[in-house]
Amino acid sequence: MYFKHTPSIIKPLAKDLVFNLPNDRNAIYLTFDDGPHPEITPAVLDLLDEFSAKATFFLIGKHAKAHPEIVEEIKQRGHAIGLHGFNHLSGWKIDDATYIQEVQETPKHVDSKLFRPPYGRITLSQAKTLKKDYEIIMWSDLSADFDAQYSAQECFEFATRKVESGSIIVFHDSEKAEPRMLDALNLSLKYYKEKGFVMEAMSSTRASL
């Protein structure tokens, strides 16, 4: 079970985590987890370019190590990058020391101060340690593009139905999500543009977030 829209009751209980980024620019933040992928990530980049949209890519360390040229392309095309662990491990299933080591291995291949916990699963003690060095980015809205039970149309609806200024929306540039993601993203980008949202990349510095 997972939430498509993060309930407001959760946010005060997890003050070390960022669920949205309020602003007066009508800006929203598209994010992509689990890349980079040598074919899917460039397809996402092309689609973002069509709508003059910027995004933030939370990269798995082992994938970034295997495809440094895609990491560089993401940055060259004006997008931001963040950490998503080296092996995409759940913080709920391993001890704190192992989890912290897993995160600290990633910056060798992903230079960023933004971190998104894989699966969104992190303990309070893990977050307390990591917040010293990273801004821990969660989300307000989840497209659920990774879930084969949903259609691209449903993923589009999840990604748009509660969006507002400051929303952080999750898609995945992965093989698991690709059958739904590109179509859902295309529909979502059209919707965001029609509604006047500005699609920005996140800053990599804590002070400006």
pLDDT recorded at residue 1: 62
Q: What is the pLDDT of residues 188-209, one digit of tens each?
A: 999 999 999 999 999 854 434 3
Partners of residue 170 on adjacent β-strands: 31, 142
H-run or E-run covering 112: none
Q: What is the pLDDT of residues 59-75, one digit of tens each?
A: 999 999 999 999 999 99
Q: What percent of the chain lies above the pLDDT cut of 90?
A: 79
With bands split at pLDDT 50, 70 and 90, how would you rate the model's confidence at 33?
very high
Distance between CA atoms of residues 16 and 40, nearest Å? 32
With bands split at pLDDT 50, 70 and 90, how would you rate the model's confidence at 2?
low
Global confidence as pTM: 0.93
Every domain of the chain and the residues it spans: 18-208
Highest mean pLDDT among 3-7, 35-39, 118-122: 35-39
| Residue pair 59/84 in contact by the 8 Å Cβ criterion | yes
* Angle ∠(48,23,54) on CA atoms, nearest 5: 10
Q: Which residues are part of the catalytic machinery? A: 33, 172
Average pLDDT over residues 119-141: 93
* Angle ∠(143,147,149) on CA atoms, nearest 5: 115
Phi-psi domain of 34 (left: phi exceeds 0; alpha: psi -120 through 50; beta: other): left
Instruction: Residues 18-208: name the CATH superfamily.
Output: Glycoside hydrolase/deacetylase (3.20.20.370)
Mean pLDDT score across all residues of the chain: 92
- Choose the weakest-confidence range: 58-62, 105-109, 148-152: 105-109
pLDDT recorded at residue 6: 79
Show Cβ contacts of residue 208 under 8 Å, excluding neighbours closer than 6 positions. Answer: none
pLDDT recorded at residue 207: 39
